[in-house]
């Protein structure tokens, strides 16, 4: 789906140029300009209403075009236009006036400029870096770490050093974390922005895995969590190109300074905790930012206070809450599996692929950018969290998967298999919660054969062990070929409001 909303946010809210928006959202510059033109023509206003979905926004901006009559007006020679623009004092306005003098019925000035922009966008252009105040924050990790000794065990761990440098003032932030993993990477960003007291327009990370899901010279794919973090703070992310050190020269120099003026100064000290190490880093970091420039007046601190801090955007009302994302497929029981627990989603999404956002306490499910379910995160493995509104009003309304169908399918193997399936379905608050186990048991017949499965189910009934893992263990060990076990009483509830007997499904 088009990245319309993100392009509009970066253009209209963050105030980035078309080139910067295109680099951050990984779309063509002509597409960014077209989104903005269609947005203004649509009559919508920014910010967009919360109720406006991605599909509705796309329909509002990309209505079916009206049939057009073939245009016979002369098209300028763009190669000549491009060459003439290199001359001193030559502008698009002057070239358009010369064009209209030759072709009085030619295109208007707006079309002329737009068409040239589209044509020139296909050229290879060497981008010159410019670091305006409040524009870019360069982030990376130092090549060396610092050892931390555990007080109780004596274990030695190497802490990683996160470094962030603002482009205009060279004001530097550094801290130690246990790893370069996603949680530490995002946490360091949150603390760095809090330290600066504001948000730059652009983040420039290296292509490490915590920032870039898939490195690419022109269109790197951002880690979903990093992209969500950027949206929360209203900042664009433009990763440095692979093997292009000049893209991140600021942070490369910043890393060198941190290694020389902080890590080297702490080399003789022994640290016993991460907070102790970060306290020492903060002292030396303040000295680094106060050191006078060699070739310019002032220091990093003075440059930050005078030009960079006023240009930073304000921090959001609340800091970003760390979350991870994963893709899941909805099973026929309209539940998705997350860390061994099963969460319900609307039954109409059976067999669809969803995106799940995980925080410490919540599980949110999204379909095509829209949240369709939200649950409190549960640590219980193999259990279900089911919302009644997600259940179908009648079994025949969803994919023809019903308890009755599963029992009839099991009867083709034998009465013991049908009894096991009926027992599983009868002992769940909602029969659908047993669908996964039932399908797994029936598929064991494909691996071991129907007769062996029937015998294993007969033994499971005698042992009161009507579970997938029990039946699988019986088949793996060949126990169904042994004599019957000692008879046991099947301890089933005699009566309960939410439990059904196996015969209920016939």
| Measured distance CA(307)–CA(166) in Å, rounded | 11
What is the pLDDT at residue 498? 45
| Cβ neighbours, 10 Å, residue 267 | 9
For the chain, give the percent of residues with pLDDT over 90: 20
pLDDT at 217: 44
Q: What are the tokens at 250?
A: 């600021």
pLDDT in tens, 88-132: 567 889 989 999 999 998 899 999 998 888 877 765 332 233 467
Chain centroid to Cα 134, Å, comes to 26
Mean pLDDT of 260-264: 86
pLDDT score for 120: 72
Please tell me what DSSP assigns to residue 245: G
170 and 256 in contact (C-beta within 8 Å)?
A: no
Structure tokens at 314: 């304000």
Query: How far apart, in whole angstroms, are the C-alpha atoms of residue 206 and residue 243?
Result: 10
State what percent of residues in the chain have pLDDT above 70.
80
Q: How far is CA 456 from CA 305, 437, 462, 465, 472, in A?
A: 76, 15, 10, 10, 8
Average pLDDT over residues 251-257: 78
CA dihedral sign of residues 245, 247, 251, 254: positive
- Give me Rg for the CA atoms of the chain: 32
What is the residue extent of each domain of the chain? Answer: 4-61, 78-120, 136-311, 324-394, 402-505
Mean pLDDT (the chain) is 80
Residues in a beta bridge with 367: 370
Tell me the mean pLDDT in the region 215-223.
Answer: 51
Q: What's the 3-state SS for 468-503? A: HHHHHHHHHHCHHHCCCCCCCCCCCCCCCCCCCCHH
> Tens digits of per-residue pLDDT, 409-442?
888 888 888 888 888 887 776 666 677 788 888 8
Residue entry with tokens 């004596």: 154
- On the question of a cis peptide bond just before residue 47, with omega within 30 degrees of 0, the verdict is yes
* Rounded Cα gap, residues 168 and 189, in angstroms: 18
* DSSP notation for 437-476: HHHHHHHHHHHH-HHHHHHHHHHHHHHT--SHHHHHHHHH
Looking at residue 162, its pLDDT comes to 93
pLDDT exceeds cutoff 80 at 17: yes
CA nearest 206: which of 174, 239, 180, 173?
Answer: 239
CATH class of 136-311: alpha beta
- Residue ranges of alpha helices (H) inside 328-376 are none
Alpha-carbon span 17 to 26, nearest angstrom: 14
């Amino acid at each position: 789906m088009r990245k319309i909303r993100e392009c509009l946010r970066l253009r209209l809210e963050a105030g980035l140029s078309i080139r910067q928006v295109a680099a951050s959202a990984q779309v063509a510059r002509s597409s960014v300009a077209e989104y903005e033109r269609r947005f203004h023509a649509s009559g919508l206003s920014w910010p967009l209403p919360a109720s406006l979905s991605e599909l509705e926004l796309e329909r509002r901006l990309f209505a079916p075009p009206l049939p057009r009559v073939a245009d016979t007006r002369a098209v300028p020679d763009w190669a000549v236009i491009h060459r003439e623009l290199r001359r001193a004092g030559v502008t698009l306005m002057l070239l358009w006036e010369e064009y209209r003098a030759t072709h009085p019925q030619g295109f208007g000035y707006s079309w002329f400029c737009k068409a040239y922009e589209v044509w020139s966008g296909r050229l290879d252009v060497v981008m010159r870096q410019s670091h305006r105040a409040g524009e870019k924050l360069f982030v990376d990790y130092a090549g060396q770490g610092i050892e931390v000794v555990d007080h109780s065990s004596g274990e030695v761990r190497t802490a990683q050093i996160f470094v962030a440098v603002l482009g205009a003032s060279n004001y530097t932030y550094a801290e130690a974390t246990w790893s370069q993993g996603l949680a530490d990477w995002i946490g360091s960003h949150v603390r760095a922005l809090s330290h600066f007291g504001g948000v730059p327009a652009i983040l420039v990370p290296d292509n490490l895995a915590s920032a870039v899901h898939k490195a690419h010279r022109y269109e790197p794919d951002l880690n979903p969590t990093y992209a969500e973090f950027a949206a929360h703070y209203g900042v664009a992310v433009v990763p440095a190109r692979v093997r292009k050190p000049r893209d991140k020269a600021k942070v490369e120099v910043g890393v060198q300074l941190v290694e020389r003026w902080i890590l080297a100064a702490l080399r003789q000290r022994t640290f016993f905790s991460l907070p102790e190490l970060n306290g020492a880093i903060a002292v030396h970091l303040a000295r680094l930012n106060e050191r006078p420039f060699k070739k310019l007046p002032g220091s990093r601190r003075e440059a930050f206070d005078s030009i960079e801090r006023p240009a930073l955007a304000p921090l959001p009302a609340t800091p970003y809450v760390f979350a991870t994302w994963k893709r899941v497929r909805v099973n026929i029981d309209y539940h998705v599996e997350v860390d061994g627990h099963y969460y319900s989603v609307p039954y109409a999404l059976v067999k669809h692929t969803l995106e799940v956002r995980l925080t410490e306490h919540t599980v949110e499910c999204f379909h095509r950018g829209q949240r369709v379910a939200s649950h409190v995160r549960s640590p219980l493995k193999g259990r279900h969290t089911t919302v009644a509104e997600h259940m179908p009003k009648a079994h025949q309304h969803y994919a023809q998967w019903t308890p009755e169908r599963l029992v009839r399918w099991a009867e083709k193997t034998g009465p013991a298999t049908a009894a096991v399936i009926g027992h599983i379905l009868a002992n769940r608050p909602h029969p659908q919660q047993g669908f996964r186990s039932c399908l797994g048991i029936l598929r064991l017949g494909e691996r071991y054969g129907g007769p062996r499965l029937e015998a294993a189910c007969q033994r499971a009934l005698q042992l009161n062990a009507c579970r997938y893992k029990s039946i699988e263990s019986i088949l793996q060990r060949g126990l169904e070929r042994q004599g019957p076990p000692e008879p046991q009483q099947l301890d089933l509830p005699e009566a309960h409001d939410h439990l059904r007997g196996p015969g209920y499904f016939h």
